[in-house]
Amino acid sequence: MKTLAIGLLAGTFLTGIAVQSASAEDLVIWWNKSYYQEEDDKFDEIVKAFEAETGINVDYSLFINEDAPVKALAALSAGEVPDLAFGFLFDLQHTSRWAYEGKLVDVSDVLEPMKDRFMPVALESVNLLNGETGERSYYAFPTQQQTAHIHVWNSLLKEIGQSVDDIPGTWNEFWQYYCDQQGELRQVTGNRNFYGVGQPMSSSASDTIFHFMMFANAFDVEWIDDQGNAVLRDHRQQLIDALDSYVMPVRERCNPPGAVNWIDSDNNVNFLNQVTLMTPNPSMSIPASQYSQNPENYTTNIASIEWPDKPGGEPIVYMTSIKTAVIFEGARNVEGAKEFMRFLYEPENIGPYLEGSLGRWFPVMPALVDTPFWQDGTDPHREIHRLQYMERPQNPFPFVYNHRFMPIMTENAIGKAVGRIVLEDWSTEDAADELIERVETALQG
């Protein structure tokens, strides 16, 4: 049985009844609704195939991005949890903290026998510390991943006799290039409010966190060590340099002034409306949105390119967010939930499911990439996607090593530091010092 909850009111209404109404069911699943119907349809097919193969009846509900964690928190508070829950925002907001607090079931018995199927960063991201036992173990299922991509209007560059091949691959020159094209493109487009760069600058957008983390990687900023201890103060100058580089487009007036108020969708909207020449984005949602809607944009007009090398010339390390499914302590049917995940992990199930996202998410299993969908050499975006995930170094977010870093994410302390500079005219030194103090305070608990 499938339930679709759209919006918080619907989700709240279901909080008290979803598990109860499924008392006759064998397995209750709460899952994140996809951005594309193709992905939801594939999940529905997987559920039906699982029911047919196992004889287990499944009651599942779909919830939009923002509602999935709200639902989970309400269920934990009420003591009425589903058997299995998945949310695109779980890893960025809650998973490592839930593990530390002893709220998640250890799923090592599922992952250990198949650990050679996964990318190392995927397993590292779910190998979390339990504060009650003082030991790490696998407390979540990795399902898919996202990293930061860069998209450019190749069609606009052609109008001024340029192409993506003319974009420098070195750090400072890369960002300056877009600012340098702004004036000529304003004349070509007739839009005086056209900007070379579309970089989020707000504390309202989680994209600000994702993108600044890439800048931090470029300048070799380290937040915490492998044991979870704060080391950011030892990298103060690198943090200052990263902040200076991040806000450069604002200082040079080649970033939309409204970026200080952007939410996560606004860089997409400004780019697709051709207000900006380029924008970074932490998924392939921008080209994926054009796949059916405007095929020419997908195949020709929009280019996806790699991030430039670090200022020192070394390849940049990509920040990777591993999406997680979890089993909460207190779930009625833990073994049924594990059995479902074993079934989902079969290549013939999870492979088509992820392909239904039209490339928005990338597999965490290398074998899933060896398919016509991902190996299509004529697809300009998936080729870059593969390169970033399969051939470049990757790091998980710091909260993997210490759950106390999670407030830095949820309160967007990084976006606040950027806002101090671009809105309140703070020096990058002062903004860096405040951020260092906030990170140290958070990690001290």
- The pTM assigned to this predicted structure is 0.92
Name the region of 161 (left: φ>0; alpha: ψ -120 to 50; beta: rest): left
Pair type for strands 84-87 and 362-363: unpaired
Name the region of 435 (left: φ>0; alpha: ψ -120 to 50; beta: rest): alpha
Q: Which residues have CB under 8 Å from 357's CB, separation 6+?
A: 34, 35, 36, 38, 39, 144, 288
> Residue 377's pLDDT is what?
87
Dihedral sign, CA of 146, 124, 308, 392? Answer: negative
> Residue 342's pLDDT is what?
98
Phi and psi (nearest 5°) for 191?
-110, 110
142 touches 118 (CB < 8 A): yes
171-189 and 236-251 are packed helices; what angle lies between their axes, rounded to 10 degrees?
A: 10
- Average pLDDT of the chain, as a whole number: 93
Mapping DSSP to helix (H, G, I), strand (E, B) and coil, where does residue 302 land?
strand
pLDDT tens digit string along 61-102?
999 999 999 999 999 999 999 999 999 999 999 999 999 999
Q: What stretches in the chain show pLDDT beneath 50? A: 6-24
- For 112-183, list the strands marked E by DSSP: 127-130, 135-138, 141-146, 149-153
Residue type, 36: Y
- Which parts of 57-159 fold into alpha helices (H)? 67-78, 90-93, 95-100, 108-111, 120-126, 154-159
pLDDT tens digit string along 204-228?
999 999 999 999 999 999 999 988 8
Residue 49: both structure tokens together: 């195939």
Distance CA 386, CA 306 (A): 11
Mapping DSSP to helix (H, G, I), strand (E, B) and coil, where does residue 254 land?
coil
Q: Which residues have CB under 8 Å from 75's CB, separation 6+?
A: 15, 19, 30, 81, 82, 85, 328
189 touches 291 (CB < 8 A): no
Residue 60: both structure tokens together: 């599942």
